[in-house]
């Protein structure tokens, strides 16, 4: 069995607010994308890497990855698309014929531990075709009522009405890496391709495209170290995590 990791790194990092694309922002001297690529390699279950780069930065991204002694698997860098979904789709087109399992991971989650990467990939290899890591949520989560014309006319801006409260025990905050049988992931992206063009319609994770096919998705335990760097506050926090060397 041969596993490809698609490492998404084509975003701009608008909410983080650095001058660099987020994946190239150094965390303790090492770009986020390299932290993630090193951990994928260290997992021992990834045979090849396809990295999505922002348009115009394919060769910069290649330089970063090619010269790293800890990234010992073959790396291909491709230009990403306008959304994460289209970037993953672009990455999938570069999977070699012998690939049967694909793990999709975000450079924005630089500290996802090797054991967690193994957990999702090995669960796919054991026969579950779509496997994602999830963490129990500690907040109570509300679903809002859509702001229809009637609602909009009576509610001031910034005030929403609650429609429902899902049982917290059944909620999971999901992370990457997410692992899939290759054929299933290709089918899911093909079926959902029309959504990929804009952020408003694009899937925010790959599992939701599989769910849209009506196929089962399975959850295994996630890891707090796989937190996503979105804002400057996240960056501050993850630097602390790394300093404490909790790899
Ligand atoms: N990503 C990508 N292609 C895009 C958009 C995002 O490959 N067109 C990647 C990002 O590089 C990141 C992951 O998808 O690793 C998750 O996206 P997000 O956290 O939203 O990162 P950015 O899009 O870079 O950040 P922002 O939305 O704040 O601009
Ligand atoms: Mg984004």
CB of 80 sitting under 6 A from ligand 1: yes
Q: Identify the pLDDT of residue 153.
A: 67
**The two three-digit tokens of residue 52, written as one number:** 């999505």
Residues of the chain below pLDDT 50: 247
| Residue whose C-alpha is closest to residue 40's, from 86, 103, 126, 131 | 103
pLDDT digits (tens, 9 = 90+) for 60-82: 999 999 989 999 999 999 999 99
Q: How many CA atoms lie within 13 A of 41 on its CB side?
A: 17
Q: Which ligand has the shortest distance to the CA of 109?
A: 1
* CATH superfamily of this structure's domain 2-134+173-242: Spore Coat Polysaccharide Biosynthesis Protein SpsA; Chain A (3.90.550.10)
End-to-end CA, the chain: 27
88 CB within 6 A, ligand 1:
no
175 lines ligand 1 (CB under 6 A): no
CA of 84 from ligand 2 middle (Å) equals 7
Q: Which of 11, 70, 60 is nearest to 37 (CA)?
A: 70
Ligand 1 in reach of 198 Cβ (< 6 A): no
Q: Label residues 94-105 b or e (16+ Cβ within 10 Å = b).
A: bbeeebebbbbb
For the record, the structure tokens of 88 come out as: 């993953």
Question: How far apart (Å, rounded) are the C-alpha atoms in residues 52 and 61?
Answer: 9
Looking at ligand 1, which atom is closest to the CA of residue 108?
15
182 three-class SS: helix
Model-level pTM greater than 0.75?
yes
- Ligand nearest to the Cα of 37, by number: 1
Contact 22 CB / ligand 1 (< 6 Å): yes
pLDDT tens-place string over residues 18-41:
999 999 999 999 999 999 999 999
């Amino acid at each position: 069995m041969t596993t490809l990791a698609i490492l998404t790194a084509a975003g701009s990092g608008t909410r983080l607010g650095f001058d660099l694309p987020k994946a190239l922002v150094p965390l303790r001297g090492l770009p986020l994308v390299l932290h993630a690529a090193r951990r994928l390699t260290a997992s021992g279950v990834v045979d090849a890497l396809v990295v999505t780069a922002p348009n115009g930065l394919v060769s910069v991204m290649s330089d970063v990855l090619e010269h790293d002694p800890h990234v010992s698997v073959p790396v291909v860098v491709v230009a990403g698309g306008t959304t994460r979904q289209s970037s993953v789709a672009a990455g999938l087109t570069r999977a070699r014929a012998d690939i049967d399992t694909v793990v999709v991971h975000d450079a924005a989650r630089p500290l996802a531990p090797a054991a967690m990467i193994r957990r999702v990939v090995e669960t796919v290899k054991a026969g579950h075709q779509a496997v994602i890591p999830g963490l129990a949520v500690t907040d109570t989560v509300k679903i809002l009522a859509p702001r229809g014309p009637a609602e909009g006319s009576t509610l001031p801006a910034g005030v929403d009405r609650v429609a429902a409260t899902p049982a917290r025990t059944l909620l999971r905050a999901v992370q990457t890496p997410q692992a899939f049988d290759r054929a299933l992931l290709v089918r899911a992206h093909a079926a959902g391709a029309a959504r990929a063009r804009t952020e408003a319609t694009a899937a925010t994770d790959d599992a939701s495209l599989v769910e849209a096919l009506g196929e089962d998705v399975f959850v295994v335990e996630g890891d707090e170290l796989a937190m996503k760097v979105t804002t400057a506050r996240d960056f501050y926090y993850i630097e602390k995590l790394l300093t404490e060397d909790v790899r």
